[in-house]
Amino acid sequence: MKNNENLACRVCGMIQSEAPWGEGGNTPNFMICACCGTEFGYEDCTKESVKVHRTKWLNTGGSWWELKNKPNDWEINVQLQNIPTDYK
């Protein structure tokens, strides 16, 4: 497992303050990713739904859901590298 993999959004790779699917990876917290707008436990519950949501997000420009939280030095390609291996 990569460093922080359990903290990363399965769709966009943004590192969250708490594990979107809990420490064991089985219990979603139903929070929303500030970057891609994914609701953990809803739009990221299967590998197929992750890929569909990621494609939709990227096809609309990969824009931030909560723009006020976007880091000034944000680079989408760097963040996408954080996506958990099983969801690439």
Confidence category of residue 78, pLDDT binned at 50, 70, 90: very high
The total domain count for the chain is 1
pLDDT score, position 3:
62
**What are the contacts of 13-17 at 24+ separation with CB within 8 A?**
13/79, 13/80, 13/81, 13/82, 13/83, 14/79, 14/82, 15/82
Domain extent for 14: 1-88
pLDDT score, position 1:
44
Amino acid at 37: G
pLDDT score, position 50:
97
Q: Is the pLDDT of residue 36 over 50?
A: yes
Q: What number is the average pLDDT over the span 46-60?
A: 96
Q: What number is the average pLDDT over the span 44-48?
A: 95
